[in-house]
Chains A and B, each alone.
Chain A
């Protein structure tokens, strides 16, 4: 009897642990494109992780299904709003995005390489910074708020046309110092809880943090439609939320710190497909 009891106990325990593990599933978008959600880690992560995995694999069956069909993916509503913005002329020059870039489809391949070093400006730029640079200097329009609705709708559009392409940010050359600053931040413990990004997303992915599954914290699926707040969430807003959860004063969205962190975290996903707008809890 005692033996039987302990066997039951062991099986209960192992079931609980398996539940938080990433699932074995394939992300096929609109029954057309197969996305890479699991692949070998890039060389720079050799000491840390062997395999990189999209956050999609850490979510439930229903949530995963929502992302597989554009009609079911609520994030696509915001992509449509982004498309409207793409074609809207604004500012003193009377230009829209489409005036120079034609169809939004022509931006395929842009999302995967951002953040990227900009030669003329002498700095690493995120996609948001580049959008605002266009608005201010090409269109003569007001810049958008970094994590505002218009900006996130636009980055969702730009991500959506690159879905299926592998994330491929450059971490060497002029971007290297920014990348290293981002890496430093990733491993620096912050807040009253003294947690670094790595504490959860490198050391404990696949485990539960209270009622939620910890993923690897990949950002290939951003902007992300979250079921909890029924809107798109941008990368920097998510960073802010995470740092706040360590009970620290956070950096500002669009700050040098978050730009560096975005470059570093994006590089941890080099090889995964762009998924934005993804669906998460």
Chain B
């Protein structure tokens, strides 16, 4: 598992039914591209977050493929329609097989 990885998300605590809300996500990750070399000239192996998904009550909201050119600490911001109260689930997939998860509840009101 890559070091110092920590997912963060920002979701409003409540919204009106049918509202579109803005979700912000950030994961601290070095996103090593695989293109760089160390001091001895050996390639530093690629180690990135390669996929990010967000689901709401089991339904997929967004599914993103991340590529090596994406900078360190990838930040993703997107909008989602909230038809009912429920829970957003966020999942980040690491090259090394690690999966980082976070979830946030949202109420209607």
Contacts and interface: CB of A to CB of B under 8 A. Distances in A.
B14 interface: no
A71 B72 contact: no
B105 interface: no
B45 to A, nearest CB: 20
Interface in A51-98: 71-72, 74, 77, 80-81
Given A72-B75, A77-B73, A81-B4, 11 more contacts: A71-B8, A71-B10, A71-B24, A71-B26, A72-B24, A74-B73, A74-B75, A77-B28, A80-B6, A230-B71, A230-B72
Q: Name A's interface SS.
A: loop
Interface string A213-246: 0000000000000000010000000000000000
8 contacts: A72-B24, A74-B73, A74-B75, A77-B6, A77-B26, A80-B6, A81-B4, A230-B71
A72 B73 CA distance: 11
Interface in A105-157: none
Contacts of B28: 77
Contacts of B10: 71
Nearest to A78: B28
Contacts of A81: 4
B74 to A, nearest CB: 11
Contacts of A72: 24, 75
Interface string B59-75: 00000000000011101
Contacts of A230: 71-73
A77 B75 CA distance: 12
B84 to A, nearest CB: 25
Nearest to B26: A71
Contacts of B71: 230
Nearest to B27: A77
Contacts of B26: 71, 77
A81 B73 CA distance: 14
